Chains A and B, each alone.
Chain A
Amino acid sequence: GAGVSQSPSNKVTEKGKDVELRCDPISGHTALYWYRQSLGQGLEFLIYFQGNSAPDKSGLPSDRFSAERTGGSVSTLTIQRTQQEDSAVYLCASSFRLSGGPDNEQFFGPGTRLTVL
């Protein structure tokens, strides 16, 4: 596809269950970002991948959150033992950025709306 895609678009889960969110960045984009946006709020930075590596994981809200990126492309964000406060829209973005190089435009996906009951 031409843009960033995310799946699923909506996810309703029960408290305590694990969820996996997927992001397919634009082909060739080296940088990938995960954000969380609660209703009517700003974007909370979660993690940034340069290639397959995430230099800093301290933005993840708790150790229940993990993310990986394989082959410099697809990324998954996993939330274990979901809590109600995890309910939010999870946005993924990608850009072409060389490590240590200047930032470029981030292209956002449509997001995954997660609801934890």
Chain B
Amino acid sequence: GQQVMQIPQYQHVQEGEDFTTYCNSSTTLSNIQWYKQRPGGHPVFLIQLVKSGEVKKQKRLTFQFGEAKKNSSLHITATQTTDVGTYFCAGRLANNFNKFYFGSGTKLNVKP
């Protein structure tokens, strides 16, 4: 079954609006990574969170890792058309280091 759930599946925003995608795991994660995949491209690494409650920022992007290390979010402030793509969370379960689970992804469309 799906180990890492991600919502929403799609998000359409007007340029300048904010965007958030959420990931949730029923099992504690050892870490979580975020990737962006542009249409027709392959996933590109954005960031990794390891510590409980960790928050990291990259310009307009804010990443959070929950206190229980079971959920994470990516928030984009004032979206731009260059933000278009699918955002995936991914991580290794704390009790199984031999697999790497990707969320189902959130496809972001930004209207100019």
Contacts and interface: CB of A to CB of B under 8 A. Distances in A.
B104 A35 contact: no
26 contacts: A33-B100, A42-B103, A42-B105, A43-B90, A45-B100, A45-B101, A48-B99, A55-B98, A58-B99, A59-B99, A91-B43, A93-B43, A102-B31, A102-B50, A103-B30, A103-B48, A103-B92, A103-B100, A104-B48, A105-B33, A106-B33, A106-B35, A106-B45, A106-B100, A108-B44, A110-B42
Contacts of A108: 42-44
Interface string B25-59: 00000110101000000111100101000000000
A62 interface: no
Interface residues of B, number: 24
Nearest to A31: B100
Max chain A CB contacts within 10 Å: which of B6, B30, B99, B102?
B99
Interface residues of A, number: 25
Interface of B: 6, 30-31, 33, 35, 42-45, 48, 50, 88, 90, 92, 96-105
A27 B96 CA distance: 27
B41 to A, nearest CB: 8
B100 A42 contact: no
B33 A43 contact: no
Interface in A44-67: 44-45, 48, 55-56, 58-59
B33 A42 contact: no
A56 B43 contact: no
Nearest to A92: B42
